[in-house]
Amino acid sequence: MDYNFLWTTPSAGAPIVSIATYGISFNSIVVDLLNRPPKVLLGFDEKNMVIGVKPVIGEVEEPRAYRFAEPGRQGVIRIGNKDFLKYVSNKSGIDFRKIKKYLASWDEDSKTLIIDLRNASLESLAWGEEE
């Protein structure tokens, strides 16, 4: 069998992405999952209600890319993108004025981090409950 493990430290926790009106924050597990790229693309799939985060690899010139894991930058990384999140909020009906936290997952086929907005944010689910 082929496995693709994400090895973590005991203090690292789960791959969490926090979304608020001012931007998207990625914890250190997510940053490592993305392989610490210098830039990423952000996209929204309205039909599937997911945000995609795709690493920009190499010296590719991509004017739509956001700066991400700069050398020397450790821990949580935040991308300020109010207009993008206003658009997502409008299309999804989700109010990001209160921070929402989501478990992120890696899609190997598209090489994209997936944030599924249909799943309740972490603070709204008690452990062991299902939506």
* 127 dihedral zone (left: phi>0; alpha: psi -120 to 50; beta): beta
Supply the pLDDT for residue 6. Answer: 58
- Average pLDDT across each block of 10 residues of the chain; the chain has 131 residues. List them in order: 60 82 92 91 96 87 84 79 95 93 92 91 50 37
The whole model's pTM is what? 0.81
- Looking at residue 34, what is its pLDDT? 92
Q: How crowded is the C-beta side of 121, counted as CA atoms within 13 Å?
A: 13
What does the alpha-carbon distance between residue 33 and residue 107 come to, in Å, rounded to a whole number? 11
Q: State how beta strands 50-56 and 100-107 pair.
A: unpaired
Query: Around 61, how many Cα atoms within 13 Å sit in the side-chain half-sphere?
Result: 0
Q: Are 126 and 105 in contact (CB under 8 A)?
A: no
